[in-house]
Amino acid sequence: MSDAALPERLARAITLAGPVSLAQFMGAANAHYYATRDPLGANGDFTTAPEISQMFGELIGLSLADQWDRAGRPAARYVEFGPGRGTLAADALRAMAAAGCTPPVHFVETSPTLRAEQAKRVPQADWAVDLVGVPEDGALLVVANEFFDALPIRQLVRTPDGWRERLVACQDTLFLPIVGQRGFDPIIPPHLRGAPVGSVLETAPAAVAIVRQLAKRIVAQGGCAIVIDYGYSGPAIGDTLQAVRGHGFVNPYDDPGEQDLTAHVDFATLAEAARAEDAVACGPVEQGALLTALGIDARMAALAQRTPGRAESLRTDRDRLVEAGQMGSLFKALAITAPGWPMPGGFA
């Protein structure tokens, strides 16, 4: 299989044509990584909120159903970007059905391995590789959890000679970061241009392009999106590229395609991209505050009453999702809606 030789192929491309951008390196590495495995869970590389507790997907689903109800119950489609194992969707769709909302399901997913996992939990889904494959009628009820952090980023680095792009070079099969020759000072926001030597500024062109496309479709068709990820309100200085493997951090330039490469999501820039398409963007709000506003404590109590033996583990899971020292503050949510649509709960 040609994919098995990703490091060799990348090395050859770099030897022939010169260093590649970090975005090219990250894009190629993650495409291979997700295509060839299910990375989630205790035996995988990382765990996500829907894999921690059913409460996460249920509350997101109830929030979408509530919005759909307040919008007058239009014909609608459930769309999820990067659904992983399909756990969030299964929990959300069950909660939505209980509220009378049973839309057709569209998964935007490139990995054949994960599509197979998703089909086990949500057999009625349709798959697409991007939004072009989702029909242009019906309001869109959109979810993306830990999707945008996996998209390729560019890094600009402040050197003594000004701002340069981070490139990836290669010696034998060892990959390493270098800085390019070309100057990038004119595209650095003026207030950040004078940052100290060594400072890193990240941009996420793929994430911005997807948000613009998504916002355009939401404006045209009606609907809303809830985007959840770890991140910040930028643009801001900071190198957030990280690689995880077996639940630990590793060197991002090692073993391309065998470890998960991510970067923190710049929510302010994504909100601005949505507004550029005339959508309404609200947030980011912290995940802990959002889940609390959506009623996680009442949901926990109801589940604990039904199965008292689970009360303690429900509390542990709730704390993991909500508490500031755990996922509650670093993870944030952005809402994007069509003009005239109600804001989802928790996004005052």
Residues that bind ligand SAH (CB under 6 A): 30, 34, 40, 48, 50-51, 82-84, 88, 108-111, 114, 145-147, 150
Rounded to a whole number of angstroms, the minimum distance from the CB of residue 146 to ligand SAH is: 4
108 vs 263 by CB, closer to ligand SAH: 108
In 3D space, the residue among 320, 297, 300, 317 whose CA is nearest the CA of residue 308 turns out to be: 300
In 3D space, the residue among 49, 28, 45 whose CA is nearest the CA of residue 37 turns out to be: 45
In 3D space, the residue among 51, 6, 63, 50 whose CA is nearest the CA of residue 32 turns out to be: 6
109 vs 317 by CB, closer to ligand SAH: 109
**How far apart are alpha carbons 289 and 12 in whole angstroms?**
48
24 vs 159 by CB, closer to ligand SAH: 24
Rounded to a whole number of angstroms, the minimum distance from the CB of residue 108 to ligand SAH is: 5
Rounded to a whole number of angstroms, the minimum distance from the CB of residue 40 to ligand SAH is: 6
201 vs 207 by CB, closer to ligand SAH: 207
53 vs 145 by CB, closer to ligand SAH: 145
**How far apart are alpha carbons 275 and 162 in whole angstroms?**
31
Rounded to a whole number of angstroms, the minimum distance from the CB of residue 246 to ligand SAH is: 16
Rounded to a whole number of angstroms, the minimum distance from the CB of residue 256 to ligand SAH is: 15
145 vs 287 by CB, closer to ligand SAH: 145
Mapped to the 3 state alphabet, what secondary structure does 255-292 carry? CCCCCEEECCEEHHHHHHHHHCCCCEEEEEEEHHHHHH
- The continuous run of DSSP H or E covering 231 comes out as strand 223-232
21 vs 159 by CB, closer to ligand SAH: 21
Rounded to a whole number of angstroms, the minimum distance from the CB of residue 16 to ligand SAH is: 25
Rounded to a whole number of angstroms, the minimum distance from the CB of residue 99 to ligand SAH is: 22
* 179's tokens: 């800085």
Count each helix (H run) and each strand (E run) in the chain, helices first.
11, 16
Under DSSP, the state recorded for 40 is: B
**How far apart are alpha carbons 49 and 54 in whole angstroms?**
9
Interhelix angle 54-70/311-322, nearest 10 degrees? 70
Closest residue to ligand SAH, based on beta-carbon distance: 82
19 vs 84 by CB, closer to ligand SAH: 84
Burial of 257-285, coded b for 16+ CB within 10 Å and e otherwise, reads bbbbbbbbbbbbbbbebbeebebbbbbbb
3 state SS of 241: coil
Q: Residue 9 forms beta bridges with which residues? A: none
Rounded to a whole number of angstroms, the minimum distance from the CB of residue 225 to ligand SAH is: 14
